[in-house]
C-alpha cells in the first residue's frame, strides 16, 4: 500500500521560506507517476500547488510559480516543497499526493496533511 | 480562486439522492478528465471518481460521475449519514495547472 507522510516546521515567519518534505513508502518514485503538493487554508477549499515526475519535470500553479520549487530525491524516495516569501495567506494544511497522469487524471493517494502556520 | 464552480451546499434525507455540479470551461473540463474527491471532517480527501465516471476499488456504486461538455456531475444515491462531507471536483487546465472546484458540503437532514 502506498503511503505518504509530510514533515517540516509547523510555524514559519512572514517573508521566510516554507519547506516541507514528503516521504513515500510502499512504492518507488522511480517507477513512475507524478508527485505533488496540494494545500487547503483553514475552512477553505483545495488549491493545487504543483507536481513533479521522477525525471524532474515539473508543473506549477501559475499564481504561485514565482515562489514555488518542487524537487525530488529518488535515493531517499522523497520529494519536497519550498515556498518563498510567505505571508499569512499561505497558512494552510499542506498535502503531498501521488498523481496519476501529467494532466491530473486523478490523485489516488494522499498524505494526512501538515498544518503550516505563517506568523511572527 | 478556483476556476471550477460548485454549489456551496446540498442536502437531502437519508436514502434520497443528491447531485453536485461542477462547471468549468473548454480550458479545463471541456478537454480533460474529471475526478471527484470526498473529504470527511478533519481528514485528507479521498478519491471517489476518476476519468469522469470510473470508481476506484472499494467505492460503492451509490457514487456515480458523468461529464457533458464543460460540466461534470457527481451523484450520490441511497444517501447515508456517513456521506456527510465536503466534495470536490478536479481536472487539468490549459494553464498547465491542476484545478479544483470550490467544494460542496453535503448534509443529510
Please give, one letter per residue, the 3-state secondary structure of B79-92. Answer: CCHHHCEEEEEEEE
Report the pLDDT value the prediction gives residue A12, as an integer from 0 to 100.
98
Strands A47-53 and A58-60: antiparallel
Of how many residues is chain A composed?
120
> How close, in Å, is residue A32 to chain B by CA atoms?
18
pLDDT in tens, A51-73: 999 888 999 999 999 999 999 99
pLDDT in tens, B13-29: 999 999 999 999 999 99
**Alpha carbon distance A60, A51 (integer Å):** 7
At a CB cut-off of 8 Å and minimum separation 6, what does B38 contact?
B45, B46, B48, B83, B85, B86, B87
Collapsed DSSP state (helix, strand, coil) of residue A78: strand
- The pLDDT-based confidence of B71 (bands split at 50, 70, 90) is very high
- Count of CA atoms in the C-beta half-sphere (13 A) of B6: 29
**Spatial strand order in the sheet of B71-76:** B18-23, B71-76, B63-68
pLDDT in tens, A72-114: 999 999 999 999 999 999 999 999 999 998 888 899 999 999 9
Cell of A105: 487524471
Q: Is the pLDDT score of B2 beyond 80? A: no
A45 contacts in B (CB within 8 Å)? Answer: 2, 88, 100-103
Report the pLDDT value the prediction gives residue A7, as an integer from 0 to 100.
98
Closest-CA residue to B66 (of B53, B47, B48): B53
Closest-CA residue to A38 (of A100, A81, A84): A81
Chain B stretch 23-82, residues whose beta carbon is closer than 8 A to a beta carbon of chain A: 32-33, 35, 37, 43-47, 50-51, 56
Report the pLDDT value the prediction gives residue A104, as an integer from 0 to 100.
80
Residue of B nearest to A48 (CA): B98
Q: Is the pLDDT score of B42 beyond 80? A: yes
Report the pLDDT value the prediction gives residue B1, as an integer from 0 to 100.
62
Among the ranges given (A30-34, A67-71, B19-23, B41-45), the one the predictor scored with the smallest mean pLDDT: A30-34
Amino acid at each position: 500500500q502506498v503511503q505518504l507522510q509530510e514533515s517540516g516546521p509547523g510555524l514559519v515567519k512572514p517573508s521566510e521560506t516554507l519547506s516541507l518534505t514528503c516521504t513515500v513508502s510502499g512504492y518507488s518514485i522511480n517507477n513512475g507517476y507524478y508527485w505533488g503538493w496540494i494545500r487547503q487554508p483553514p475552512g477553505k477549499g483545495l488549491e493545487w500547488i504543483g507536481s513533479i515526475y521522477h525525471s524532474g519535470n515539473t508543473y506549477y500553479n501559475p499564481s504561485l510559480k514565482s515562489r514555488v520549487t518542487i524537487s525530488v530525491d529518488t535515493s531517499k524516495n522523497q520529494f519536497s516543497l519550498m515556498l518563498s516569501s510567505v505571508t499569512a495567506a499561505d497558512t494552510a494544511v499542506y498535502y503531498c499526493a501521488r498523481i496519476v497522469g501529467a494532466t491530473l487524471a486523478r490523485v489516488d493517494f494522499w498524505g494526512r496533511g501538515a498544518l503550516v502556520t505563517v506568523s511572527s | 480562486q478556483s476556476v471550477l464552480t460548485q454549489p456551496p451546499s446540498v442536502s437531502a434525507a437519508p436514502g434520497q439522492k443528491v447531485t453536485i455540479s461542477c462547471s468549468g470551461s473548454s480550458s479545463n473540463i471541456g478537454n480533460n478528465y474529471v475526478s471527484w474527491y470526498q473529504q470527511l471532517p478533519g481528514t485528507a480527501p479521498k478519491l471517489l471518481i476518476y476519468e469522469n465516471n470510473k470508481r476506484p476499488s472499494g467505492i460503492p456504486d451509490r457514487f456515480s460521475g458523468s461529464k457533458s461538455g464543460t460540466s461534470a456531475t457527481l451523484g450520490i444515491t441511497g444517501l447515508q449519514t456517513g456521506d456527510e462531507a465536503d466534495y470536490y471536483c478536479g481536472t487539468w487546465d490549459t494553464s498547465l495547472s491542476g484545478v479544483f472546484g470550490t467544494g460542496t458540503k453535503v448534509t443529510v437532514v
